[in-house]
Amino acid sequence: MNNNIELEKVEFSKQSYYLYYDDNGKITDLLNYKKEFGSYVELSEKFVVDFRSSGKSLESYTIKIGKNIRLERKTIERGIGTFYIVSERKDADVIISVSKKALKFKLSKTLNHKIMNQDNVYKFYIVSTDNLNFLKEVIKIKHSQLIKGYKISYIFNKNNDVLITSKLFDSYGINYE
């Protein structure tokens, strides 16, 4: 008597996921089923597993839809008391460009400079990433210098240095060349 029963080969269908977002690109849900309504992008199970195993969080991203669909990291403003930590950002009121041997501070061309007090002096502080209380450099820039573009010699290491300032403009960004 044979106690074995042969079964047909079973194949599991691949799981699809649905990334829902609002009109502003904010991610609202990641589900393994379709809702009755809402804008979504279909994702593979491999993408979801790889993304989650990377330690990244969907809350840190927005969805951008154009010729290609992509996730874009949100610009997060970080502060320490009344100070603002300048992070990587391409579109900002004040842009700091970092080259190998210098920092260049410049106001955005879209900012209305006429309403600003031309005698204002802005202070930027370079501190240690390990200890934000360890001050490495103080940079004072007049408004007129900021309009023209102010350049100082400084070897800025993004792994060891952080740039902070008082938040006097709506946005600040740092770009590495």
Give the pLDDT score at 155. Answer: 94
Give the pLDDT score at 126. Answer: 94
Give the pLDDT score at 127. Answer: 92
Residue 91 in this model has a pLDDT that exceeds 60: yes
Over residues 147-176, the mean pLDDT reads 90
Give the pLDDT score at 104. Answer: 96
Lowest-pLDDT choice from 30-39, 55-64, 92-101, 107-116: 107-116
Over residues 16-31, the mean pLDDT reads 87
Check: CATH 2.60.40 for 78-176? yes
Give the pLDDT score at 177. Answer: 84
Note the pLDDT tens digit of each residue in 106-135: 988 766 555 566 778 999 999 988 888 889
Over residues 152-160, the mean pLDDT reads 92
Q: Check: CB of residue 113 under 8 Å from CB of residue 107.
A: yes
Residue 52 in this model has a pLDDT that exceeds 90: no
**Residue that is written with structure tokens 């044979």 in the block:** 2
Q: Structural domain boundaries of the chain?
A: 16-73, 78-176
- CA torsion angle 112 174 177 126 (round to 10): 120
Give the pLDDT score at 110. Answer: 67
Return the amino acid letter for 108: S
State the Cα–Cα distance between residues 175 and 59, nearest whole angstrom.
23
